[in-house]
Amino acid sequence: MDLAYTPEEEEFRARLRAWLTRTLPLLPPKPSPDDWPARRAYDLGWQRRLYDAGYAHVHWDASPTVRLIFLEETERAGAPYVGANFVGLLHAGPTIAAEGTPAQRERWLEPILKGEEVWCQGFSEPDAGSDLASLRTRARRDGDVYRVTGSKIWTSHAEVADWCELLVRTDPDAPRHQGITWLAMPMDAPGVTVRPLRTLAGSAEFAEVFLDDVPVPVANRVGAENDGWRVTMVTLSFERGTAFAGEVVACRRVLAELAREAHGNGRWDDPALRRRLGRLEAEFRALWRLVQWNVGEATENGVPGAGGSVFKLRYSHARQQLYDATADVLGDAALDLDRPWVLERLSSLSYTIAAGTSQIQRTIVAQRVLGLPKGR
């Protein structure tokens, strides 16, 4: 892909930068991390501002370079992160755009872009983890609806979600990777119970979701019945390939702040720490290049390829290393939960598990990138 910015793209950057300068001071204060209803309202409000200003479509329709400029400028300005819109905007929406019917695209895509509806992801299960093919939640066809029974876990934003991208087993006798279907389930359907989970960092952004004979219209099925594994690979390609792109920019900003903190408190005199931060700078520069490649591939081919697993594997590791380095810079203050980066350090522990464990990513890289034979 051509990474050079055209005059038109630089003009886009200037307009976006000016709009951010005018708009960000108008935002209300950020709500408490534990107040998810307030966080939902805040995140949807920001998404609506982006929509009204003509920037909401950038993630889906813009050229690779414009998307990258958007990520760079919003992060540079300290704009809100996608937050509760993460699933809808960054992988459920792109999946529906790629695999949905015209009626499904008309129903769901615009409300996501306008900041009217929040999505969560019902993929992981208590006994399956990242091995999605082991899922046990079943759906039985009953006329115009599927009757869904089972449970999901580690469901981000389920407490405030309107819709769930849900994987169900529709043919229990089929091989593991067949007989699976991708459904859009309304979270207010009868039989849905959400139980929030509190993490090590104190947040309750995850939940258990229990499904007791939940009716889901057949019209909400994305892709063919029993073809859900293929649709899921599209979803995971977006999740691993491009959904974390903005976080790489954020990590590079944190790294710069960490270096300034080290200069200020005298820890910069430690040559081992300087080498550590230098290696991290090189790592995140390389990851940004990989982001550019994945975004370009997604634009050219419709979805990112196996390069998404390469990115996810390296990004998860680099993020943990970055926040581990904050402990060296902060010293004893790293035990103070009110200091910057301390909660993020605790949260970073989950990144080698979230969106597919590092073991799963290594398997994908070995088989699809390196062409190695499957293990037993």
- Binning pLDDT at 50, 70 and 90, where does residue 313 land? confident
Between residues 230 and 305, the one the model is more confident about: 230
| pLDDT at res. 175 | 87
* Least confident range of 114-128, 312-326, 362-376: 362-376
Q: Tell me the mean pLDDT in the region 57-80.
A: 84
Residue spans of the domains in the chain: they are 7-114, 119-226, 241-370
Q: Binning pLDDT at 50, 70 and 90, where does residue 345 land? A: confident
User: Higher model confidence: residue 233 or residue 123?
Assistant: 123
Which DSSP helix (H) or strand (E) runs through 152?
strand 145-152
Report pLDDT for 15. Answer: 96
Res. 366: pLDDT tops 80: yes
To the question of domain 119-226 being in CATH 2.40.110.10, the answer is: yes
The strand pairing partners of 169, in sequence order, are 138, 180
Q: What is the pLDDT of residues 74-118, one digit of tens each?
A: 988 889 988 889 899 888 998 998 899 999 999 999 999 999 999
Query: Residues 191-202: pLDDT tens digits?
Result: 999 999 887 767
191, 212 contact by CB (below 8 A):
yes
Does domain 241-370 fall into CATH 1.20.140.10? Answer: yes
Residues identified as active-site: 239
CB neighbour list of residue 111: distance below 8 Å, 6 or more residues apart: 117
Q: CB count, 10 Å around CB of 18? A: 10
Check whether 128 has a pLDDT greater than 80.
no
For residues 263-292, give the mean pLDDT.
Answer: 91
Q: Which residues have a Cβ under 8 Å from the Cβ of 259 and sit 6 or more positions away?
A: 268, 277
Beta bridge mates, 217: 145
Nearest to 334 by CA among 265, 251, 249: 265
Same fold for the domain at 119-226 and the one at 241-370? no
pLDDT at 249: 83
